[in-house]
Structures are given as C-alpha cells and as structure tokens.
Amino acid sequence: MKKIYLFIGLFLVLPFYGQQNCLNFDGVDDQVLIANSQTPALLIGSKVLTVEAWVRPALASYPDSGPIVSNHISNTQFALRATSAGAYEFFIGFGTYVVSSPENSLKKDVWQHIVGVYDTTSIKIYIDGVLQGTTAVDSSYFLPFSGSDIFIGYDGYPLEKFSGGLYDIRIWRKAATINEIATNMNAVLTGNEDNLLAYYKFNQGMAYGNNTTVTTLIDSSVYQQNGILSGFDLNGNFSNWLDKTYLSLSTEQFDSALKLSVAPNPTSDFVSITGFNSSIVTAEVYDVNGRKLFSKKLNQTQSIVSLKNLSSGIYFIKIISDKSVTTTKVIKN
C-alpha cells in the first residue's frame, strides 16, 4: 500500500528559479521511461560524460539501490543512483568503473545536488559542488555501444526503485569542471548549450493538483527526448508533481494544522501562534533544508516565537502537542 503524505511549502524563490516543481516517486511503481533516446547513440565511444540531478531521498538508505537516472539494463553506459550504504554512486559500463560518496553522505528529506563526471582518466562524484570520491579509469577505455532505454527513478530491475523527489536532471557529452558545476547547479540553462544531450527541468504540472493528463516529462535540450511517466498517482500530495520545497506531514497533521493561526506572516520579528488545543506545546523552527534551528515551549499566555535573530528567508515552524503535530511555512522579511 502506498503511504500518503501532505507536502507544505509553497512559493519559495531560489536564485534563478522562482517557483519550481519536482516529481515525487513512491518507490513502488513510479518511473519515467525515455524510450528510443538518442543519448546512448551519442555517447558511444565517448571518453567524457557528466550526469547531474537534484535529489531529495525519502530514505536514509535504499534496500537495494535507488536509481536516479541510467541506461543500466544491458550494455550499460552510465548510472547515477542512491545506495544501501546511505551514499550516492556513479558508474560507467556495467559497473566497469564505480565511484561512491562516503557512507551516510545521503541526507534523507534534504535536497542535494549530485553529479557524476567521467573525464577520460577518472570518474568522480560530487555533492553540492564538493568532490566526494574519485576512481581511476584506464585511458584506453570509452563508453560502449548501448541500445538500452534511459530510465529515471527506475533501472529495469524490479527491486531497484527510487523513493523521493527529483528535478533538474542533465546529461552532457563533456566532463564538467568543479567551477562549472558550482556555477550551473542553480542556473536555468537555455537548452542549446554545447554538448548538452538531455535536460529535464521537471517544472511541470500543478503542485499537489490533479495532473492525470501531465504524463510527459519534457526534455528542454535541442534533442527533445521526452520521457513518459507510468505508475504515478498524479493527484494529491504523493506520487505526483509537487512544489520542490515540500515537507512531509501525515493527513492527521494537516487536519489539525487548519485550526492554527500563525501571524503575522510574513514577519520581520516574531509570530504569535494561536488555536492549539493543548496546555503543553513545543514550537520547533527549521530552515528550508530541514535543519532544526531551535525550539521553544509555548502555552496559552506565552505563544510568541521570535525570529529576530534569523536572516531573511523561508522557515518552517513545527508545532508539537500531546494531541497533534502540525507544520506551517513562515516568511521572514
């Protein structure tokens, strides 16, 4: 049975992007198939490759693996995925050369920018622009022939499914430098950049809405290799197009959240929380990456949470009582 979550956190503005949707995968049967893609043919014989994606895993580690994007069925050229060690892995060939980030470098429910690079003599993996690992590659090696389809969130093996959020997947026939990775990770591309083979922005659909007709993942590169969604619910707060800033809550948490008032919002200093139905309440404040910043005990007469010492931006306040747990977004001016 699929779990049901509610995701709250709308209208976050990041550099270059503005509102940005993502695609949430349930880890059961959700997948995107890029059939008859030109990318494998364009990579045959190549000695350079870059694969990048923004990833928000729903698990701290994956039972087998959590495929992000690959043509790892037969005649594999590349794969980028999460692992059972709580890490990310990039390989070329059918596991001919493999590089991994350190164990537990994968952060559950946190967006991370993951890049795999093949640069003729090595393969490398980066998280958020920081090099995590390097494996030497024989200088005579090149990417093999492959007629395999490319998958996102799946790789053709029944036990290997991704659970969580994905957006902004790019495949290049070039070896990106660390400076290029840092410069472009938050940038919107035109789609006609040199050696850009595929570019999936995921900025589609209506977040949390009825998207049952939005079943094509658009490729914004010049090759227009669109993907086809299958298995997704495409309606509601899970297995659907979501705002990429989502936080997960249960449906019971959402019901009680509707009774709360957090004001003023936006605020420049503090918020007053009213409407909770318990004499013992804790308010926890988180940043947009899910990091807990501080907590405060509240009661009916002391219901003020100060944000005075925080920088301007988006924050989430989780309100915990003996009856419910709710979360709401607050904008600090």
Single out the residue in 243, 261, 283 at which a domain terminates: 243
- Identify the pLDDT of residue 301: 72
| Domain assignment present for 63 | yes
Same domain flag for 295 and 197:
no
Same domain flag for 260 and 230:
no
- Identify the pLDDT of residue 127: 96
Same domain flag for 101 and 153:
yes
Residue 14 sits in which domain range?
Answer: 6-243
Same domain flag for 104 and 140:
yes
Q: Are 312 and 324 in contact (CB under 8 A)?
A: no
| Domain assignment present for 199 | yes
Query: How far apart (Å, rounded) are the C-alpha atoms in residues 196 and 257?
Result: 44
Count CA atoms within 13 Å of residue 94 on its CB side: 6
- Identify the pLDDT of residue 244: 83
- Identify the pLDDT of residue 15: 34
Same domain flag for 304 and 179:
no
Q: Over the stretch 306-321, which tens digit does the pLDDT of each residue have?
A: 999 998 888 888 887 7
Percent of the chain with pLDDT over 70: 86
- Identify the pLDDT of residue 325: 65
Query: How far apart (Å, rounded) are the C-alpha atoms in residues 230 and 156?
Result: 13
Q: What is the mean pLDDT of the chain?
A: 87
- Identify the pLDDT of residue 246: 63
User: How many domains does the structure of the chain reveal?
Assistant: 2
- Identify the pLDDT of residue 191: 96
Same domain flag for 295 and 183:
no
- Identify the pLDDT of residue 158: 86
- Identify the pLDDT of residue 214: 97
| Domain assignment present for 117 | yes
The string of DSSP codes covering 185-231 is TTPPP-S--TTEEEEE----S-TTSB-TT--EEPB-STT---EEEES
- Identify the pLDDT of residue 104: 96
Same domain flag for 205 and 296:
no
Same domain flag for 37 and 184:
yes
Is the pTM above the cut of 0.85?
no
Q: Over the stretch 8-28, which tens digit does the pLDDT of each residue have?
A: 333 333 333 344 799 999 999
Same domain flag for 59 and 96:
yes
* 100-104, 203-207, 239-243, 286-290, range with the lowest pLDDT: 286-290
- Identify the pLDDT of residue 259: 59
Q: Is the per-residue pLDDT at 322 higher than 80?
A: no
Mean pLDDT of 41-56: 97
| Domain assignment present for 305 | yes
User: In this structure, what token pair is assigned to residue 291?
Assistant: 């990091």
| Domain assignment present for 261 | yes
Mean pLDDT of 215-233: 97
Q: Identify the CATH number of the domain in which residue 200 sits.
A: 2.60.120.200
| Domain assignment present for 100 | yes
Single out the residue in 225, 243, 261 at which a domain terminates: 243
- Identify the pLDDT of residue 39: 96
- Identify the pLDDT of residue 114: 98
Q: Is the per-residue pLDDT at 86 higher than 70?
A: yes
- Identify the pLDDT of residue 288: 65
Single out the residue in 222, 243, 264 at which a domain terminates: 243
Closest CA to 123 of 153, 144, 143: 143
Q: Are 179 and 151 in contact (CB under 8 A)?
A: no
Mean pLDDT of 229-252: 78
- Identify the pLDDT of residue 324: 62
Q: Is the per-residue pLDDT at 331 higher than 90?
A: no
Q: Over the stretch 117-170, which tens digit does the pLDDT of each residue have?
A: 999 999 999 999 999 999 999 999 999 999 899 999 999 888 899 999 999 999
Same domain flag for 162 and 311:
no
Q: Identify the CATH number of the domain in which residue 325 sits.
A: 2.60.40.3080
User: In this structure, what token pair is assigned to residue 141?
Assistant: 């090696």
- Identify the pLDDT of residue 250: 39
Mean pLDDT of 47-65: 95
Same domain flag for 108 and 206:
yes
Instruction: Say which residue the tokens 């390989």 belong to.
Output: 91
Residue 323 binned pLDDT confidence (cut-offs 50, 70, 90): low
Same domain flag for 66 and 195:
yes
| Domain assignment present for 1 | no
- Identify the pLDDT of residue 11: 32
Closest CA to 118 of 102, 103, 139, 101: 139
Q: Over the stretch 285-310, which tens digit does the pLDDT of each residue have?
A: 887 656 778 988 888 777 899 999 99
